[in-house]
Structure 1
């Protein structure tokens, strides 16, 4: 009866809604490490390309050439598919703000560990695997698209390094104040009750009342659950959720867990899954300190979206991006 929630990340679009090019969801390899032994010297990242030629934009601290804009725009076309690409004008602003200005700010943070060549290579491989499934139909199709646009694997590795490093920097800019965590806990305190609860799930109210009568007559709860419950988990737990957080359950079930007297057999409780007969064996209110980190993870997506959008808006102002040519000449 626990709610199942999926957290979906869509590349670097998870960071600033509506401002980033929707890329490939890649996660930093868990086994990647910056510690290298003498027998395994650390590989180097590909050399950053140098660009020359006409300047199409200036920003606080630098300028952008048409050659670099074309190169990075083509990479975006590969990553998201031609049908989803931005206009060059919109892409120019996003690219400069994120990968020139904010990336430059990230480089000034000594606490951030660099992304190694091994890590970037693994992230690039993940991206290629995902691209080969969507929006492309095979790796060969991805390779052909990259070749047609003058791109190579090294370009994807450099993108992965920038992307991962920028994400890590932006994550350091997100803070959830303790006061906000405490306020949320106070407002949802009963969701952080820990209960051990027995339950039998059946399809009809009539069957539930029959089960209720058997249990109130002294029948063994686990045996009744094993025989009658339609909850798939009964095979493992014999009808008992041990030390479960009340907030994990659907609303009607959770409410019964919060209010049913300890040891008492409930009346039928109707939820989207059917009819439940419950018995709460124990119930403990967990203190704020014990669930603080859990609450932070719950609130982080909402706070992240708000704070990073504000950060991006400020960066747009601070970066002072100015195009130096007409839109048609970008």
Structure 2
């Protein structure tokens, strides 16, 4: 199914902790020489009570690269590199400030998550994932303990009324709907242009006219819809969270009168003829414990954002001295460095990458 636009890299903060979806940096193929007491690499950042060395920075970057290899495209951005080192400082600083109770809770959750991840990937694949980036399991576990310790340090600050306020601000995201639609897509399955905007809209209006005359929605979806995720099912997505959809389709699901066929809705994929068959709005009391925990984590994310842009930058960080990215010189095109941009060159890769830079992601599966 078509999904809503993802977060930009500047939103990769504590809200992503549950899946450890952070970003990457340079040095991804180098061995780490920064063993305890033996790190002689340059200091790239200093902060109140500590410092970050180049080896520490590279090691943590390789860890997150193992988890999110598609983020490699950002490693040529100096401002992204700086954001990452600030994030690393924030986690080290808060981890160092955590008391014994918080550290114990963080380690427990990290151990649970580590075990779950290893089982989900399979032991061999998980090890291969780390080996590819020259990361040991101990280094990865230490990373997770630090991240989850910081998460715990933020969560204990959250009050119930803050969680409820977050729900009120985002409650549309918890609405579920059964939506039947027909997509007249701009592209075919191979990513080639199928219809121009004018052609797609014309056909969408013709299909809507057939529906208005009483023709069967499911049959027309099978005949016309280019959404591989639903056309075989008569165009139906049943009891789905509207938050997963692109904004225009989400708004149709939220506002269109039940069982009425609306005018074609344009998204980056094409024109959708939509019929909302049911819609269920949740109250705070209806949320599961997991959903409430997610809301709490979102509040913690906002607090960490405030910390990073406020106290961290203004008083805690003393100096950042990261090496600038070396830009490719003329005549080097087509050599090393082109592989990282692979996800922007083909429709197939773009459709499956799921990164924030690709706003036209059609999962269709």
TM-score interval (norm. to shorter) = 0.5 to 0.7
Summarize deviations over 1:231-276 as a string: whole Å, max 9, x none: 1212453211111223332232222222322211212222222111
Match for residue 306 of structure 2? 306
TM-score by length of 2: 0.50
Q: 2: CA distance between counterparts of 1:100 and 1:198?
A: 50
Kindly report which structure 2 residues correspond to 1:25-174, keeping only aligned pairs within 5 A, or say none: 73=53, 75-76=55-56, 79=59, 102-103=95-96, 105=98, 107=100, 109-113=103-107, 127-131=130-134, 159-160=139-140, 162-174=142-154
Q: 2: CA distance between counterparts of 1:262 and 1:97?
A: 48
Q: 2: CA distance between counterparts of 1:130 and 1:267?
A: 50
Gaps of 5+ in 1: 16-20, 26-47, 52-58, 85-93, 132-152, 322-330
Q: 2: CA distance between counterparts of 1:100 and 1:205?
A: 55
Q: CA deviation at 1:316?
A: 5.1
Kindly report which structure 2 residues correspond to 1:2-21, keeping only aligned pairs within 5 A, or say none: 2-3=3-4, 5=6
Q: CA deviation at 1:163?
A: 3.0
Q: 1: CA distance between counterparts of 2:90 and 2:227?
A: 51
Match for residue 176 of structure 2? 194
Match for residue 243 of structure 1? 239
Q: CA deviation at 1:300?
A: 4.7
Pairing 1:219–2:215 present: yes
Count residues with an aligned counterpart. Answer: 242
SS in 1 for 2:275: strand
Q: Structure 1 pair 171/277, CA: closer, same or farther in 2 (3 Å)?
A: same
TM-score by length of 1: 0.54
Structure 1 or 2, whichever has the larger Rg, is 1
Q: CA deviation at 1:277?
A: 1.1
Give yes or no for contact 1:208–1:277 (8 Å, CA) kept in 2. yes
Q: CA deviation at 1:74?
A: 7.2
Q: 1: CA distance between counterparts of 2:303 and 2:250?
A: 26
Summarize deviations over 1:159-179 as a string: whole Å, max 9, x none: 545433322221111124332
Q: Structure 1 pair 230/171, CA: closer, same or farther in 2 (3 Å)?
A: same
Q: What's the RMSD between the two structures over aligned residues?
A: 5.0
Q: Structure 1 pair 217/185, CA: closer, same or farther in 2 (3 Å)?
A: same
Pairing 1:185–2:167 present: yes
Give yes or no for contact 1:201–1:229 (8 Å, CA) kept in 2. yes
SS in 1 for 2:147: helix
Q: 1: CA distance between counterparts of 2:166 and 2:97?
A: 36
Summarize deviations over 1:49-87 as a string: whole Å, max 9, x none: 679xxxxxxx98xxx9xxxx9xx9474376369x99xxx
Give yes or no for contact 2:4–2:247 (8 Å, CA) kept in 1. no
